Amino acid sequence: MKPADVFIAVLVAVIWGLAFVASRIALDELSPALMTALRFGIAAAPCLVVAKPKVSWSLLVAISFTLFLGQFLAQAYGIAHGVPVGLTSVIVQSQALFTIAFAVVAFREWPTPMQMVGVTIAAIGLLMICATVGYDFSVGAFAVLMVSPISFAIGNLLLRRAQGVPMFDLFAWLCLTAAVPLFALALASDGPAPTWHALTHMSLTGLACMLALGAISTSIAYWLWGRLLRDYPAAQVVPFALLVPFVGAAASSVVFSEKFGPLRLAGMVTVVGGIAVMLLSKRPRTVPVIVE
> Does 232 have pLDDT greater than 60?
yes
Q: What is the mean pLDDT of the chain?
A: 85
Q: Any residues with CB less than 8 A from the CB of 93 and at least 6 apart, and which?
A: 149, 241, 242, 244, 245, 271, 272, 275
In this prediction, residues 47-68 reach a mean pLDDT of 93
Percent of the chain at pLDDT > 70 equals: 92
pLDDT band at 200 (very low <50, low <70, confident <90, very high): very high
Decide if 53 contacts 168 (C-beta within 8 A).
no
Q: Is 285 helix (H, G, I), strand (E, B) or coil?
A: strand
Taking Cα atoms as reference points, which of 234, 230, 225, 232 lies closest to residue 284?
234
- Give the phi and the psi of residue 202 in degrees, each rounded to 5: -70, 135
In this prediction, residues 166-191 reach a mean pLDDT of 93
In this prediction, residues 263-274 reach a mean pLDDT of 85
> Does 205 have pLDDT greater than 80?
yes
pLDDT band at 9 (very low <50, low <70, confident <90, very high): confident
| Three-point CA angle 238, 243, 248, nearest 5° | 130
In this prediction, residues 260-279 reach a mean pLDDT of 82
The string of pLDDT tens digits covering residues 82-130 is: 888 888 888 888 887 787 788 888 777 777 888 788 878 888 888 888 7
- Select the more confidently predicted residue: 155 or 43: 43
